[in-house]
Structure formats: C-alpha cells, structure tokens
Structure 1
Amino acid sequence: MNRSILIGRLTKSPELRYTPSGVAVTQFTLAVDRTFTNSEGKKEADFINIVTWRKLAETCAEYLEKGRLTAFEGRIQVRNYENNEGRRVYVTEIVADNVRFLESNSSNKRNETNGNSHPGASQDPFSDDSKPIDISDDDLPF
C-alpha cells in the first residue's frame, strides 16, 4: 500500500502549468514540521515536493498560497531523468489526489476587512470569550 498524509505549510504559491496535451499540473513544496527539536532546541522541517493534476491542480492554483496550512493525501512516487550533464537525477514526490485547506485564505481575510464580503463576515464569534454567555437551561442539549 502506498498512501501518505502530510500536513504543512506551502513554501511558495503554486503555479499552474499545462502539459502539451492540455492537462493541468502544479508542483510545489510543503514544509512539514518534525515532531522533535534539534540539539539547539529549534524545530526542524522536511521539505516535501507535491504534485497535483487536472481539476485538483486548478483548485490548488486558485486557492493555495505561500504559508497556508494544508493537508495532502496521495502516493509517493520516485521518478528519474538524465540532466544536461548526463547524470541520472532521482526525484521523490507526493502525487496528491486529495487536499484539505486547514485555514482560511489570507486574501479572503483581506477582502473581508475591505468590505468586499457580506456584512458580519469578519466578525469573530469568540471575540467576547471573557464575558459570560447568556443562555437558558432550556437551550442546552444536556
């Protein structure tokens, strides 16, 4: 079985390209934090190459941007090619077939603050978290 699930932040915004036959593709890198710190007490990350195809590639190009926290599911693929110097180069990447946007797009945040969305869209429902909530016992589910 060849399945991988990764959660991390994009190191740059994806750029949409098309193959000569017209198939959409994006390639980008995901920074995935390691669960431990190094000897200096600092977190380290692995930088994993991600490839998406077709409609998923178009969706990623439209909605993902540098720094956005995102989850990808796919398969590990190892491919190789000969570079200009005649050396064999091996590339390991994740060919993603599922993506989950784990936080809102910052451009959407900018639009909300500029008044380009529906009224009340930028209001934080938890902004009054230090104040008591006025709710009757009849409204509680327990």
Structure 2
Amino acid sequence: MSGVNKVILVGHLGKDPEVRQLEGGVTVVNFPLATTENYSRDGRKIEQTEWHNVVMWRGLADIAARYLQKGKLVYIEGKLRTRSYEDKEGHKRYVTEVVADNFNMLGRKSDNEPAAQPQPAADTAPRVEETVGNFNQQGDDDLPF
C-alpha cells in the first residue's frame, strides 16, 4: 500500500510571488500563504495564523506569476516536500514546502484580474457586449445541434 501526501489550503498571499527562470526556461514561483483559524477559549475570540511556503512550477507558475499578488485569496492543492540546503555558515537547514498541483482564485471577480497588466485604450478594446452580440447574430441555423 502506498501513502497519501495531499494538502488543501485556502488562504491569502503574504507577498507577491517571487518568479525565477531556471535553466531550460523552466519557471518557478514561491510565496508565503497565510491560513487563519478562529476559535473561542474561555469566552475570548482567538485568531491563529499559520504561514505556509508554497512553490509552483512550469505552466502553473506562469499563470500564478500573471494573476497572483499579495493579499489575494486562493485555494491550493498540492503535496508536502521537505528539502535541505546549506546556509551561508555551512549549517544544514531543512524547509518544508507545499508543492502546488492546482490552484483556484477565490474572492470577488474584480480580484482576479491579471496582476500589473497594462489596460488597452478604451477606444481600441472590444466590448464583451459587441462580441456576444456578433455571436448571437449568427442565427439558430448555424448551430451544430
């Protein structure tokens, strides 16, 4: 029997994703994610926040770099990975990360606009109503069913 390594988190980004390009054009992003639990103890409301290190690779990293930014609410699925490295003083350190397989942006629709993307001039941008109107004007005879 094999084990299960599955993580599901819903939280807010603690900072903008850090984007790196590795050899061969592979994109990797990482960012901290805050999850907060609320509970009561002795009649007092307690709020406890945990911080998680999230890593995304390749195509998922490209999407995250474009759309995610500090403060956004996201749902993340992935797995835990622990890796080791040597710090500047030569000491072996360990870090546990959530390697994301999937994510969904949550919150208001306006929150899910691409991060820091320039907007086209108003007179050159097609309006959604015009596009939908053109599609609907084709008539029922053009439908494949």
Q: TM-score, normalised by structure 1?
A: 0.71
Compute the displacement of 1:17 (Å): 1.1
Distance 1:79 1:66 in 2: 25
Distance 1:80 1:38 in 2: 37
- Between the two proteins, the alignment pairs up a number of residues equal to 118
Corresponding residue of 1:95: 99
Distance 1:90 1:38 in 2: 33
Q: Map 1:75-94 to 2 at 5 A.
A: 75-94=79-98
- The C-alpha deviation readout for 1:27-61, integer Å capped at 9, x for no partner, is 00100012435786341210000000000000001
Q: Does 1:74 pair with 2:78?
A: yes
1:117/1:102 Cα in 2 relative to 1: closer, same or farther (>3 Å)? Answer: farther
Q: Does 1:13 pair with 2:12?
A: no
Corresponding residue of 1:4: 7
| Gaps in structure 1 of 5+ consecutive residues | 121-142
Decide whether the 8 Å contact of 1:68 with 1:105 is kept in 2: no
1:85/1:34 Cα in 2 relative to 1: closer, same or farther (>3 Å)? Answer: same
Decide whether the 8 Å contact of 1:10 with 1:68 is kept in 2: yes
- The C-alpha deviation readout for 1:109-129, integer Å capped at 9, x for no partner, is xx9xxx778479xxxxxxxxx
Corresponding residue of 2:133: none
1:37/1:21 Cα in 2 relative to 1: closer, same or farther (>3 Å)? Answer: farther
Corresponding residue of 1:23: 26
Q: Which has the higher helix share?
A: 2
Structure 1, 35-44 or 79-88: larger mean CA deviation: 35-44
| Gaps in structure 2 of 5+ consecutive residues | 130-145
Decide whether the 8 Å contact of 1:48 with 1:93 is kept in 2: yes
Corresponding residue of 1:131: none
SS in 2 for 1:62: helix
Structure 1 runs (4+) greater than 6 angstroms displaced: none
Compute the displacement of 1:107 (Å): 7.2
Distance 1:9 1:117 in 2: 33
Q: Provide the alpha-carbon RMSD of the alignment.
A: 2.8
